[in-house]
Amino acid sequence: MRNGYLGRRALVTAIGLAAALPALAADLPTAMPDDNLNAVLWDQTSVEAKANALGAYALAHYRLDEALADKSWTAAPAEQTGAFQDLPPAIILDVDDTVLNTSPYQAWNVINSTSFTPDSWNKYVNAERDVAIPGAVEFTQYAASKGVKVFYVTNRTADEEKPTVEEMKRFGFPMGDNVDTFLSAKEQPDWGSAKGTRRAFIAKNYRILLMFGDNLGDFTDDYKGTVEERDKVFEADAAHFGHDWIAIANPTYGSFESAPYHSDYKLSPEQQRQMKHDALKPWDGK
């Protein structure tokens, strides 16, 4: 009898809990799906991301040897003026997601339903939690062994330079010895987020052989604009890619993401997302 009573009581309790669950669930905070989840997952965990980077830096070995043998070769036609043929050789690399993988920061944002802020980014940089992009250390060391000066042109700020340089030295990146080869944003008054002035600064004293980046802005200052405008810039410069401009894939952030909504950050997230949807060219299902 007791067992039967307890069984019926348990059944009633279970039914009551089942009826209450929807109301309880409504009171719990719910995280919106993050559009960046698959991109960060690919960047942080996939063998394909590693393979892509290794392939890009393997190509760079061949291109560097070609560039060293050709005195007329320059990767910076917009900035490299005058008689540059006998200048000492140099290469320019972006830092974030070109030589250092910042996916721990991107993953933190996904997990916590947050997005980039200067404060959280600065805290991340000082934590020195990056990992080296596959192939980057080996290639930069190869370039340095050939007498090529390795410059890093980054939009990390001057106050973020010290932890970044310490981290890069730990990984084995060549850092220029008695030459300042880490050119951060705002380090000089005209060094803004566009990198042309820093490329021109290097081009005064060096022949720029190759440039590396994960964003169009790492190669040209004409990187902003609509999707169509960026396509026109790409088409005009297409011959550089794979030759003297080496791109590293980064689907997690960049000027590509804001192009569909014209970099109008006053728009709500919902409006930005709708304009990104509108930029897609879907199959018609037929």
Within a 13 Å sphere around the CA of 167, how many CA atoms are in the beta-carbon half?
21
Per-domain boundaries in the chain: 1-30, 34-253
What is the value of pTM for the model shown?
A: 0.88
Mean pLDDT, the chain, rounded, equals: 91
Report how far Cα 245 is from the mean position of its chain's Cα atoms: 16
The per-residue pLDDT for range 215-239, each reduced to its tens digit, is 999 999 999 999 999 999 999 999 9
The per-residue pLDDT for range 88-125, each reduced to its tens digit, is 999 999 999 999 999 999 999 999 999 999 999 999 99
The per-residue pLDDT for range 177-217, each reduced to its tens digit, is 899 999 999 999 999 999 999 999 999 999 999 999 999 99
261: number of Cβ within 10 Å:
19
Confidence of residue 33 (pLDDT cuts 50, 70, 90): confident
Q: Which of 106, 136, 123 is closest to 257 using CA atoms?
A: 106
pLDDT of residue 23: 53
Contact 240, 74 (CB under 8 A): no
By CB neighbour count within 10 A (0-12 exposed, 13-18 middle, 19+ buried), where does 40 fall? buried
- Please state which of the ranges 21-30, 97-106, 112-121, 266-275 shows the lowest mean pLDDT: 21-30
What CA–CA distances, in Å, run from 151 to 30, 154, 216, 228?
A: 45, 10, 18, 31
pLDDT of residue 46: 98
- Please state which of the ranges 2-11, 50-59, 248-257 shows the lowest mean pLDDT: 2-11
- Whether the per-residue pLDDT at 12 is higher than 50: the answer is no
Alpha helices (runs of H) in the chain, residue ranges in sequence order: 2-27, 37-45, 47-69, 103-112, 118-127, 136-145, 161-171, 196-203, 227-237, 255-258, 269-279
> What dotted CATH number matches 34-253?
3.40.50.1000
Q: Which of 250, 256, 245 is closest to 92 using CA atoms?
A: 245
Q: Tokens standing for 230? A: 């960026």
- Whether the per-residue pLDDT at 48 is higher than 70: the answer is yes
Q: Are strands 245-247 and 207-213 parallel, antiparallel or unpaired?
A: parallel
